[in-house]
């Protein structure tokens, strides 16, 4: 006689079921975390854009009251709820991010704090979905002609 017994069929079904459960657990875990890299990438891109904007300004000129009138690095001390472009227009799809920009005089290698010839700009971006996944970037702007 050829064939499989009922016991053999039940054992095979149990083994296949256990294997499928293990594979599905991995799929569920990966699917649940698949949005995280996108959120990190967007937060990093936002932070780098704000930092680049600030560091390309003059070292010191005068006070600017709004982001459109910021003319020097030290003007960059503000918080945006939702990412905005340089004109203050909200960027569609990025409303869930909070951006905090801080610029302050700092020491940098041989440049002393007292000289005031180096400014550190720190940009902190926090996604609304996870406050623990904050992205922080910083850079320095030096006064090349003191």
- Top pLDDT among 71 and 123 is at 123
Of the candidates 38, 40, 52, the one whose C-alpha atom is nearest the C-alpha of residue 135 is: 40
Q: Where are the domains of the chain?
A: 1-34, 36-142
Please tell me the chain's helix, strand, coil percentages from 3-state DSSP, rounded to the nearest 5. Answer: 35, 25, 40
pLDDT above 90 covers a percentage of the chain that reads 30
Pick the range with the lowest mean pLDDT from 14-23, 43-52, 79-88. 79-88
Q: How confident is the model at residue 137 (pLDDT cuts 50, 70, 90)?
A: very high
DSSP 106: -
What digits encode the pLDDT tens for the residues 106-118? Answer: 888 877 777 778 8
pTM over 0.85: no
Mean local confidence (pLDDT), 81-95: 88
With contact defined as beta carbons under 8 Å apart, do 108 and 99 qualify? no
Q: How confident is the model at residue 146 (pLDDT cuts 50, 70, 90)?
A: low
Of the candidates 55, 138, 29, 38, the one whose C-alpha atom is nearest the C-alpha of residue 97 is: 38
Q: How high is the pLDDT of residue 138? A: 95
With contact defined as beta carbons under 8 Å apart, do 116 and 142 qualify? no
Q: How high is the pLDDT of residue 33? A: 65
């Amino acid at each position: 006689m050829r064939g499989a017994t009922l016991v053999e069929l039940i054992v095979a079904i149990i083994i296949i079921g256990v294997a499928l459960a293990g594979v599905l657990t991995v799929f569920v875990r990966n699917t649940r975390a698949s949005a995280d890299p996108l959120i990190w990438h967007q937060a990093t891109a936002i932070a780098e854009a704000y930092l680049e904007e600030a560091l390309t300004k003059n070292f010191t000129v005068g006070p600017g009251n709004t982001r459109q009138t910021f003319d020097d690095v030290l003007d960059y001390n503000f918080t945006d709820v939702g990412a905005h472009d340089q004109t203050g227009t909200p960027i569609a799809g990025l409303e869930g991010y909070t951006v905090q920009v801080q610029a302050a005089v700092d020491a940098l290698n041989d440049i002393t704090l007292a000289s005031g010839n180096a400014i550190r700009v720190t940009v902190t971006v926090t996604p609304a979905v996870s406050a623990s996944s904050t992205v922080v970037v910083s850079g320095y702007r030096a006064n090349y002609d003191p």
